[in-house]
Amino acid sequence: MIVECSRPRLLPSVQCSGNRMIDRALGRSIDLNDTAKHIVYGIDGTTSVREIASGLSQQFGVGERRALADTTKLIEALYRGGLIRAHPPWRYWLAYLVVTLRTFDVGFLRGLVFARKRVDILGGGFFVIFAQVAIRISVKYWWLVAYMFLVGGAPLLLVGGGAAHTLLAPLVLCSVLLLGLSLHESAHLYVLRRRSSDRWLGYLSFSSIKVSIRRPRVDSEELDHEVAVSGPLCPVICGVVLIALNAIHPSFLLAASGLLLTVHVLSLLPPSSDGKKLFSYAFAQRQTEG
């Protein structure tokens, strides 16, 4: 939500150059007229919407009400397009909370909890990308860890008499689940940036409870195939290593963790987007050879 006192700021991958706004994550640019240019260049994370509108009014000689309406409309459009961030003031969060608790407004949940969220991931090295993705995913799905503990660990602890591994096992398996997801998406992004030689391409997207890497359309089928395969392949390799370690030192946690990671191989089947790209590429290669 964009209000007068909001202080929006551009995402790290969004830059302004002359009369253009450049989104390096998707490889696109937006042309700006003089009014839009003044508004966009005022988005610095410290200037409020009202202050930007006031400057617009003084520079172009328009009424403050009209300047505020035009400024709010443009910033709202950029916010919905995922190009800027803006956190509403605490009193708005408090008002939302009161309204939600009293009326259970589903629209509020759909607009905040289940809204698509864009997160820019900086850098081109795998471990740099993985660290950022893992932190974002862990923060996003902290409730899953709590749920696994309450449903899996706490009851077993009460019934089983206090064994430490009883409490630890659900937390470890939940962490491995998030680790596999982080490896999967990090590998997608790393291969995309490494093969295209562009450290800004792609970003992490949260939609409802789904997480994915969004990127521009790739003209090269070979690159598209490599990006699609790299995601599932990374956690599968780690899972195979854990299963091999379990064969040497048998352990329930090693075996279960290995299975949770190797299950990403299912992403190579056609129902998933990665599987569709893999099979379409293989079919195209077969047709070419034939």
**What is the DSSP secondary-structure string of the chain?**
---TT---EE-TTEEEETTEEEETTTTEEEE--HHHHHHHHT-BSSS-HHHHHHHHHHHHT--HHHHHHHHHHHHHHHHHTTSEE-PPPHHHHHHHHHHHHHH--HHHHHHHTSS-EEE----SSHHHHHHHHHHHHHHHTHHHHHHHIIIIIHHHHHHHT--HHHHHHHHHHHHHHHHHHHHHHHHHHHHHHHHHT-TT--EEEEETTEEEEE-PPPS-HHHHHHHHHHHHHHHHHHHHHHHHHHHHS--HHHHHHHHHHHGGGGGGSTTSHHHHHHHHHHHHHHHHH-
Q: Which domain holds residue 36?
A: 9-85
Choosing from 67, 85, 103, the residue where a domain stops is 85
Is residue 162 predicted with pLDDT exceeding 80? no
**Are 185 and 81 contained in the same domain?**
no
Please give the pLDDT value at position 158: 46
Q: Give the predicted TM-score (pTM) of the model.
A: 0.67
pLDDT of 113: 46
Q: How many domains does the chain have?
A: 2
**Structural domain includes residue 94:** no
User: Are 273 and 148 members of one domain?
Assistant: yes
Do 185 and 73 have their domain in common? no
Domain shared by 31 and 175, yes or no: no
The confidence band for 148, taking pLDDT boundaries of 50, 70 and 90, is low
Query: Domain check: are 152 and 249 in the same one?
Result: yes
136 and 68, same structural domain?
A: no
Residue 80 within a domain: yes
Q: What is the pLDDT of residue 167?
A: 60
pLDDT at residue 195 tops 60: yes
pLDDT attached to residue 237: 95
Task: Judge if 133 and 25 occupy the same domain.
Answer: no
pLDDT at 150 exceeding the cut of 90: no
- Of all residues in the chain, what percent carry a pLDDT higher than 90? 42
Mean pLDDT of the chain: 81
Q: Looking at residues 275-281, what average pLDDT do you find?
A: 76
pLDDT, mean of residues 77-99: 71
Q: Band of the pLDDT at 32, cuts 50, 70, 90?
A: very high
**pLDDT tens string 42-87:** 999 899 999 999 999 999 999 999 999 999 999 999 988 889 988 7
Query: In this structure, are 81 and 126 located in the same domain?
Result: no
Query: Is 180 found in the same domain as 75?
Result: no
